[in-house]
Amino acid sequence: MSFSAGTLLVGSVLILLQLLAAVPWMAVAFLRREDLTDLVRKPFQPWVLSRVGIGLALALLGPAVFGLFVQERGALEASGQVYGVVLQLQLIIDFFVVGFALLLVVWPKGGAVALASFREGVRQSMFWLLLFLAWVLMTVSPVVPYFTFGEDHVMVKELGYDTIMLAAVLFGALAASLFVTEEIEGRTAVTLMSKPVSRRQFLLGKFGGILLAALLISACWARTSRGCCTSRPGGTGWTRRRSRPGWCPSWIPGGCPGRPTISCAASDCGCP
C-alpha cells in the first residue's frame, strides 16, 4: 500500500497532535515547580528548542517510517484504533492538569481544597475497587448472550452506560459522606476554617474535588465501554441487523412474503 504526499502530511499533523497533547502532563510529571516557573519566564531555552526540533523531526519522518512497516488494511485500522485510544487518554489527563491549573489561578483557596479532595479520592482503595469492578463487568458483558434477535450490541451499550452512571454516583455519594465526616471528626475542617478559608469555599472545594474524581473514573470507563461496543470475542465484530424500507429483517421467522431479506454487519452499519 503506497501513501500519497497528502496522506503523509496528514500523518505528520496527527503526530504533532499527539506530541502537543503530551506536553501538559509531561511538564507536570517530569518538571519541578521551579523549572515550570523558569520556563514561563524564559520559554525559549536551549533544551526546549532541542526538544521542539526532535518533535518536528519525528513528525516529518514518522509517517514515512510507518508506511514502510504498515502495508495491510487491517494493520492500518488497528493502528488507527490505538492512536485514538492514546490520544483520548492524553486528552483526559490534560483536561485535569489544565483544569486544576486554571482553577488555582482563578479560585486559589477553593481550588487548593478541590485539588486536595481530588488527590484524596484517587488514593482511596474504594476508587480503584469500583474502577476494577466496573471494568470487569463491561469486559464480560459482550460474552453474555442476551437473546435479542441480533441486537446484542444495544444491550452491551446500555449496560455500559448504566455501569458508568451507577458506579460514578456510588463513588460520589460514598466519598462525599466519608471525606466530610473524616474532616469533621479529625478536627481538620475546624483548623482549616480558622484560616482565611470560608465555609463556602471549603464545602464547594470538597464538592468540586469529589466531582472531578468521579468524572475521571467515568472518562476511563467510557473508553472501555466504547471498546466493548465495537468488538466481540473472536474479533469478528458485532452482528447487527437493521430494517430498511421495503426490506425484511433476516431474523424474522419465515421471512416476509414478497419482500427481500437484508442483513448487515457492524462494519457496514456501525455501532450506535
> Could you report the per-residue pLDDT of 238-253, keeping only the tens digit for each?
444 444 444 444 444 4
Q: Are residues 135 and 183 in the same domain?
A: yes
Asked whether residue 256 is domain-assigned, the answer is no
- Can you give the pTM of this predicted structure? 0.77
Do the beta carbons of residue 229 and residue 160 sit within 8 Å? yes
Q: Are residues 18 and 98 in the same domain?
A: yes
What's the chain's length in residues? 272
First-to-final CA distance of the chain: 31
Q: Are residues 46 and 68 in the same domain?
A: yes
CA of 78: how far to CAs of 82, 85, 96, 169, in Å?
6, 11, 28, 34
Asked whether residue 260 is domain-assigned, the answer is no
Asked whether residue 262 is domain-assigned, the answer is no
Q: Are residues 102 and 166 in the same domain?
A: no
Reported confidence tier of residue 152, pLDDT bands at 50, 70, 90? confident
How far is 228 from 222, CA to CA, in rounded Å? 10
Q: What is the pLDDT of residues 41-59, one digit of tens each?
A: 888 889 899 999 999 999 9
Across the range 125-148, mean pLDDT stands at 83
How far is 107 from 8, CA to CA, in rounded Å? 44
How far is 267 from 34, CA to CA, in rounded Å? 51
Tell me what the pLDDT averaged over the chain comes to. Answer: 80
Q: Which of 157, 155, 168 is nearest to 220 (CA)?
A: 168
> Which grid coordinates are listed for 138?
463491561
> Which grid coordinates are listed for 24?
501538559
Do the beta carbons of residue 109 and residue 196 sit within 8 Å? yes
Q: Are residues 149 and 63 in the same domain?
A: no
CA of 187: how far to CAs of 100, 190, 195, 259, 263, in Å?
26, 5, 13, 75, 65
> Which grid coordinates are listed for 158?
446500555
Asked whether residue 253 is domain-assigned, the answer is no
- Domain containing 170: what range? 108-239
pLDDT of amino acid 17: 95
Asked whether residue 75 is domain-assigned, the answer is yes
Helix (H, G, I), strand (E, B) or coil at 151: coil
Do the beta carbons of residue 249 and residue 263 sit within 8 Å? yes
Q: Are residues 141 and 233 in the same domain?
A: yes
Q: Are residues 13 and 28 in the same domain?
A: yes
Q: Are residues 112 and 76 in the same domain?
A: no
Q: Are residues 183 and 75 in the same domain?
A: no
pLDDT of amino acid 230: 66
Query: Is 70 exceeded by the pLDDT of residue 6?
Result: yes
Query: Is 50 exceeded by the pLDDT of residue 262?
Result: no
Q: Which of 234, 210, 225 is nearest to 271 (CA)?
A: 225
One DSSP character per residue, 178-227 reads: HHHHHHHHTTHHHHHHHSS--HHHHHHHHHHHHHHHHHHHHHHHHHHHHH
CA of 34: how far to CAs of 19, 30, 184, 270, in Å?
23, 12, 35, 49
Do the beta carbons of residue 171 and residue 221 sit within 8 Å? no
Q: Are residues 117 and 223 in the same domain?
A: yes
Reported confidence tier of residue 134, pLDDT bands at 50, 70, 90? confident
Q: Are residues 151 and 96 in the same domain?
A: no
Q: Are residues 65 and 143 in the same domain?
A: no
Reported confidence tier of residue 236, pLDDT bands at 50, 70, 90? very low
Q: Which of 44, 71, 106 is the last residue of a domain?
A: 106
Across the range 229-242, mean pLDDT stands at 48
Least confident range of 15-24, 47-56, 189-198, 205-214: 189-198
Asked whether residue 263 is domain-assigned, the answer is no
pLDDT of amino acid 40: 83
